[in-house]
Amino acid sequence: MEVNNYIMRTQAQHIACLEYVKNNLHKQLIKFIYKTKGGNRRFASGTTHKGFLKTQFNIDLKDDFKSREGLITYYDTDKKGWRSFREENLRDITHIYNLNENGGLIY
């Protein structure tokens, strides 16, 4: 079923997608879609991978970095800045890129 160009997922599918992003953002570069505060769709490429952020953007991420409760916080590699959105606004994952410990892409 599609509504407003969003594929409607079951609650279980949404939870699985959300858990994937929360559990893997620190070790992968993930492309995803979420609803903005204004109700628009944002297509984003993001990560919190320490090696990738250091080598690509010269950002030193603290070991104890965590998102606030109820939010997904990530570095937007397209916009080159930190962003966050409410967990319930995640719509889909479009691509996943595996990264090695230094932040290089694993093919």
- 61-82, pLDDT tens digit by residue? 987 788 889 999 999 999 999 9
What are the CA-CA distances from residue 44 to residues 10, 12, 28, 36, 92 (Å)? 22, 23, 14, 11, 11
- 27-64, pLDDT tens digit by residue? 999 999 999 999 999 999 999 999 999 999 999 998 77
Residue 1 has pLDDT above 80, yes or no: no
| Count of alpha carbons within 13 angstroms of residue 47, beta-carbon side | 27
